[in-house]
Amino acid sequence: MKVSLVIPTYNERNNLPLLLNELFDTISACKDIDLEVIIVDDNSPDGTGLMAKEMAKIYPVKVVHRKSKLGLGSAVMEGFALSDRDYLGVMDGDLSHDPSIMPTLISSLKDYDISIGSRFQKSSHINNWRLDRKIISNLGVCLAKLFTKVSDPLSGYFFLHRRVIDGMSLTSSGYKILLEILVKGHYSKIKEIPFIFRNREVGSSKLYWKEYILFIKQILVFLLKKNFFNRD
């Protein structure tokens, strides 16, 4: 299985080597998975782009250097466009997404169209979740469930067949691109995998008020398009 994993980054210089080491250590045991990582960096002032370039000397990593902070969603789209592989994935660069479930997520695509690392399955767990983040996240999930029955439609950790997005125009510049794929995509079967969501230890969250505004705008656009309500 030839897989391209897109990792959008902004100020993740210290986290990136740890993530890639853990990621490729995990995948090295999976002989049927050929993984490349596409790092899309939004001109991080801490030198994340340069660190990514150094890591590309060690691992199968491609690096996209963008001129400014253009958003997670657009970074994912740019990474997808760079790949010529049949299987595509997305994860955060802050170590919050546990690579140990990645082989399961990828292998699930043999039987499913989309596989999602879910924070809201029975055996999922979120470490040291602040109350304000918990309230905002649960509210966002409730809104997103107007369009899908997936337990974690706002997950930033997922894999899919390229055919799911073939011919689609992905427009979300915000951080919840999975929701747009679930609304517009060509798929029938989804697998959700529980995992432990780890809070970052280095750096700060990239979820600022602008990202929440983009999400609300996304919800409003979907609500205005009546055909989205007719989806099974």
- The CA-to-CA distance between both ends of the chain, in Å, stands at 30
Residue 30 has a CB neighbour count (10 Å cut-off) of: 15
Return the structure tokens found at 190: 């989804």
Return the pLDDT at 200.
56
Check residue 221 and give its pLDDT: 72
Residue 144 is predicted with a pLDDT of 79
Judged by DSSP in three states, 31 sits in coil
* CATH number of the structural domain spanning residue 154: 3.90.550.10
Q: What is the model's pTM?
A: 0.86
Domain count, the chain: 1
- Residue 158 has what pLDDT? 97
pLDDT-flagged residues of the chain (< 70): 129-133, 173-175, 199-212, 215, 223, 225-232
Q: Which among 176, 168, 162 is positioned nearest to 3, based on CA atoms?
A: 162
Q: What is the rounded CA–CA span in Å between residue 202 and residue 9?
A: 13
**What pLDDT sits at residue 141?**
79
Domain that holds residue 67: 2-230
Structure-token pair, residue 155: 């997950």
Q: How many C-beta neighbours within 10 Å does residue 209 have?
A: 7
Cα–Cα distance list, 100 to 28, 91, 163, 188, 194 (Å) = 12, 13, 26, 26, 11
